[in-house]
Amino acid sequence: MPVTPSATPGRKSAPGVRIGGLTVVYRTPAGELPAVSGVDLELPPGTITGVVGESGSGKSTLALSLLNAVQPPGRISAGSVEIDGLGDVVALRGEELRRARGRHVGYVFQAAQNSLNPLKTVGKQLLDLGRSHGVEDLRALVREARDLLGRMGLDGARVLDSYQHELSGGMRQRAGIMFALVLNAHLVVLDEPTTALDMITQATILRIIREVHEERGLTTLVITHDLGVVAEVADRLAVMYGGRLVEQGPTRQVLSDPRHPYTRGLIQAIPRLVGDIGEARALPGRPPTLATVPARGCVFRERCPLRMDVCESEHPPAVAHGTRLVSCHAVEAGAQEHGGEAVAAGAREEQA
Amino acid sequence: MITGQGITKTFRQRGGVLGGRDVRALRGVDFSIARGGAVSFIGESGCGKTTLGRILAGLESHDSGEITIDGVSMTSLRPRARRPYFRRIQLIHQDPYSALNPTRTVHQTLAAPLALRARQTGRAKGWIDERAEELLGLVGLDPGHVLPRYPHQLSGGMRQRVVIARALTVDPEALVADEAVSMIDVSLRLGILGLLRDLRERLGVSVLFITHDVATARYIGDDGELYVIYRGQVVERGPVETIISAPVHPYTQALLSAIPVLHGLEVPGGQPVTPAGALEEDEHDAGCLFARRCPFATGRCSAEVPVLGRTGDIPQEHACFHPERRSVVAMPAGRA
Ligand SMILES: Nc1ncnc2c1ncn2[C@@H]1O[C@H](COP(=O)(O)OP(=O)(O)OP(=O)(O)O)[C@@H](O)[C@H]1O
Ligand SMILES: Nc1ncnc2c1ncn2[C@@H]1O[C@H](COP(=O)(O)OP(=O)(O)OP(=O)(O)O)[C@@H](O)[C@H]1O
Ligand code: SF4
Ligand code: SF4
Ligand SMILES: [Mg+2]
Ligand SMILES: [Mg+2]
């Protein structure tokens, strides 16, 4: 893939990100309740990390924390987000924070398809963005935007001349990605970048995300409820449930040999395209809400087939298993882990 | 039995700076679904799936073509006379959040159409609550728990079941499920699919299933048919399993190639097909509508129009001059 000339000048290097003990709470009639609890996650420089989880598991809240952009009634109540070259963004305020957004951290919001200003053309919004960040060469900015749109398979000039309602969902999504990249940010956060797009458009967008990530030397975080999306783009995968990260590791390893009972259940529940449809099995119960997430013990225990007494009272700490981090009392016990592997291998043989 | 023949629909769009234009949403679609049958529509965004579903549910008019319900031609009837027929075809919206009135409890949501039903069929008032409970049981919900609640007190999966229960209040012959499971969390999705399958098997309800996720089409029951739609035209049609495992139309192949591969669990299909460029509905084409994007197009393709039908020993219908089986979908890693 040829490197676009615009990507080389002023090339910053991909930053690493270290999230530590991050807790985000929302104020509700029932008091402040955590949507994200004690999350530890590292984004190694130059990697694509995928965060997957069901609706309400706290993915968007986690993503917003990377910009210290959680809005009231929410607030970051504990923890840090260290970004190379920026420091701890949880401590940033006002003007510093505003500059960091866009310049250092590019963000494509969930439902980016509806987040463009309906009253201004895309081009006008681009100029506004450039001015607000003190960009001197606005022509170069427009050229850069056109190039980016062009390499995403769009007619850049036409898109810049269009209003939101004149663009399809896939076109708007690509315009959102352009906005996240056009100020040359090297940490990019994409929240549900392909939700509501059809398969062909989704495949195109995922290919673009991968290519741009490599060409520009980015550190990328992709948030999604769709395991297929992370499987396509992410080097590393983190699984979220009830505001907690329950398992993380290299994507292929997690998918081929999931350790946490929730990860296993989630993978098992995916409708299968080939083979016996009975291989897919529903996960009993339903995901917790802010109000029903248990305050003590394991967040998954209501639905867990391996639940033990200790799961009621003790939160399972994240324990390293090779390149994997898993938070589960049952996996922690070495014998169980072995048993788990045997089960997984057995399941694979059955499929074969 | 519901059939459609040569259904066309053109929308006149009033664009902003681009001026008005005609969008040919459906270009002559033939269609048939037996009692208790299952038909799934797949295709890119904007290919006309929802339009077709809405026409079949009587919510949208069509320009030409014929729809029959149990042998009665709808075109021959006055709009008033059509209504009872179309009421038997219920549309389930893709979004269970907006489909329910947030100020009504589940009980109120179900009681209103049931009261109408009771009046029509001369049943006593007591029947209404009885039937509401029965329907909730049918969709796998606990009536005691759900009836007094408002939509926001229910999970997405529960809401979608309530929407389905409401559709069942009129004893429909067919359900049009437009992306009815895509908004539902993975861990709840199989439950809704199983429910649709159950309604077919136990009540003989026909299911018209509109989806982006081809895999889910397999879950509404064996013997289902798949229609692949491109720019308002059916380009391939046949048993779900046949089309997934041995598609012959290059567009179907492109669509199936685009499904994300679960690397680690699956290995990609051997012959992926990538279409050139993007869908442009207003492009005027002679010949095959897919020719501009098709990697296998020949001179004939841009000169002649391929018609849906069977050729050679290919079991499914297709509209392509150069049909060829290609293995495009991912396989479980163990089996490779
Ligand atoms: N402004 C808010 N006020 C109160 N609660 C909130 C607010 N925003 C989010 N929450 C709650 O916090 C939890 C996490 O929400 P979040 O949007 O981060 O989830 P998500 O994983 O991104 O879900 P989705 O897949 O639906 O986008 C949910 O239970 C949600 O209801
Ligand atoms: N009321 C309308 N007025 C004008 N154009 C319309 C209208 N409804 C649909 N269209 C156009 O008709 C075409 C088919 O739309 P339709 O909604 O049926 O597609 P779809 O296959 O359901 O797409 P999606 O997968 O995005 O839901 C599109 O080009 C759409 O823009
Ligand atoms: S900690 Fe206990 S309840 Fe939680 S996933 Fe592990 S075994 Fe299940
Ligand atoms: S008829 Fe020609 S252009 Fe159309 S799908 Fe077949 S090979 Fe491609
Ligand atoms: Mg979200
Ligand atoms: Mg639609």
State the total domains in chain B. Answer: 1
Residue A334: per-residue pLDDT: 54
Q: Tell whether ligand 3 has an atom less than 6 A from the beta carbon of residue A329.
A: yes
Please name the residue whose Cα sits nearest to atom 1 of ligand 3: A328
**Tokens encoding A335:** 């014998």
Residue A114: per-residue pLDDT: 62
Structural domain contains residue B48:
no
Q: What is the ipTM of this complex?
A: 0.86
pLDDT exceeds cutoff 80 at B100: yes
Q: Which of B17, B142, B154, B187 to mutate to test the interface with A (most CBs of A within 10 A)?
A: B187
Q: Which atom of ligand 1 is nearest to the CA of A53?
A: 21
- The gap between the terminal CA atoms of chain B, to the nearest Å, is 41
Give the mutation target among B231, B233, B296 for probing the ligand 4 site: most ligand atoms within 8 A of CB.
B296
| A202 vs B contacts (CB less than 8 Å) | 258, 260
Question: Domain A17-238, CATH 3.60.20.40 — does that match?
Answer: no
Give the residue extent of every domain in chain A.
17-238, 243-351
Structural domain contains residue B82:
no
Q: Which atom of ligand 1 is nearest to the CA of A289?
A: 29
Residue A12: per-residue pLDDT: 67
For B331, name the nearest residue in chain A, comparing CA atoms only. Answer: A274
| B44 vs A contacts (CB less than 8 Å) | 198-201
**Tokens encoding A334:** 């070495």
> How far, in Å, from the CA of B227 to the mean position of ligand 3?
43
* Chain B contacts in chain A segment 196-215 (CB below 8 A): 197-204, 206
Residue B280: per-residue pLDDT: 62
Subunit contact A166:B45, Cβ cutoff 8 A = no
Tell me which residue in B45, B158, B261 faces A169 most closely, judged by beta carbons.
B45
Burial of A337 (0-12, 13-18, 19+ CB in 10 A): middle
Query: How many CB pairs below 8 Å do chains A and B form together?
Result: 150
Ligand closest to the CA atom of residue A73 = 1
Residue B283: per-residue pLDDT: 64
Residue B20: per-residue pLDDT: 65
Ligand closest to the CA atom of residue A62 = 1
Residue A213: per-residue pLDDT: 94
CB A285 within 8 A of CB B157: no
| A267 vs B contacts (CB less than 8 Å) | 262, 265
Distance CA B117, CA A72 (A): 47
Which is nearest to A263 in space by CA: A241, A280, A295, A243? A241
Give the model's confidence band at B31: pLDDT under 50 very low, under 70 low, under 90 confident, else very high.
very high
Distance CA B260, CA B328 (A): 12
pLDDT tens digits along B177-228: 998 887 778 888 898 899 999 999 999 999 999 998 899 999 998 889 999 9
B5 has a chain A CB within 8 A of its CB: no
CA dihedral A101, A102, A107, A111 (to 10 degrees): 110
**Alpha carbon of B286: minimum distance to chain A alpha carbons (Å):** 24
Residue A34: per-residue pLDDT: 95
Structural domain contains residue B134:
yes
**Alpha carbon of B142: minimum distance to chain A alpha carbons (Å):** 13
Non-local (6+) Cβ contacts of A13 within 8 A are A45, A186, A217
- One digit per residue, the tens of pLDDT, for chain A of length 352 reads 333 334 333 446 899 999 999 999 999 888 999 999 999 999 999 999 999 998 889 999 999 999 899 999 999 999 999 999 999 999 998 888 888 888 899 988 776 556 678 899 999 999 999 998 889 999 999 999 999 998 877 889 999 999 988 887 778 888 998 999 899 899 999 998 887 788 888 998 899 899 999 999 999 999 999 999 999 999 999 999 999 999 999 999 999 999 999 999 999 999 999 889 999 998 888 788 888 899 899 999 999 999 999 999 999 999 999 999 999 999 975 534 444 443 343 333 333 3
Q: Cα dihedral sign for B152, B156, B159, B163?
A: positive
Q: Which atom of ligand 2 is nearest to the CA of B26?
A: 14
Residue B226: per-residue pLDDT: 98
A166 has a chain B CB within 8 A of its CB: yes
Can you give chain B as a three-state secondary structure string?
CEEEEEEEEEEEEECCCCCEEEEEEEEEEEEEECCCCEEEEECCCCCCHHHHHHHHCCCCCCCEEEEEECCEECCCCCHHHHHHHHCCEEEECCCCCCCCCCCCCHHHHHHHHHHHHHHHHCCCCHHHHHHHHHHHHHCCCCHHHHCCCCHHHCCHHHHHHHHHHHHHCCCCCEEEEECCCCCCCHHHHHHHHHHHHHHHHHHCCEEEEECCCHHHHHHHCCCCEEEEEECCEEEEEEEHHHHHHCCCCHHHHHHHHCCCCCECCEECCCCCCCCCCCCCCCCCCCCCCCHHHCCCCCHHHHHCCCCCECCCCCCCEECCCCCCCCCCCCEEHHHC
CB A43 within 8 A of CB A249: no
B53 has a chain A CB within 8 A of its CB: no
Distance CA B89, CA B2 (A): 10
Strand partners, A21: none
Subunit contact A203:B257, Cβ cutoff 8 A = yes
- Domain of residue B131: give its range: 104-168
A282 has a chain B CB within 8 A of its CB: yes
pLDDT tens digits along B221-231: 888 999 999 99
Distance CA A284, CA A262 (A): 11
Distance CA B273, CA B295 (A): 8
Residues with CB under 6 A from ligand 1: A 26, 28, 35, 53, 55-61, 73-74, 110, 225, 289-290
The C-alpha angle A16, A20, A24, rounded to 5 degrees, equals 115
Strand partners, A238: A51, A248
Please list all protein residues whose beta carbon sits less than 5 angstroms from ligand 5, which is an ion. Answer: A 59-60, 110
**Alpha carbon of A185: minimum distance to chain B alpha carbons (Å):** 27
> How far, in Å, from the CA of B182 to the mean position of ligand 6?
12
3-state helix, strand, coil in chain A (%, to 5): 40, 20, 40
Structural domain contains residue B141:
yes
Residue B134: per-residue pLDDT: 93
Per-residue pLDDT, averaged over B37-62, amounts to 92
**Tokens encoding B121:** 């069929």
pLDDT, averaged across chain B: 90
Query: Does the N-terminal peptide bond of residue A73 adopt cis geometry, omega within 30 degrees of 0?
Result: yes
Strand partners, B176: B91, B208
* Chain A contacts in chain B segment 104-163 (CB below 8 A): 155-158
Subunit contact B330:A273, Cβ cutoff 8 A = yes
Which is nearest to B213 in space by CA: A164, A47, A344, A197? A197
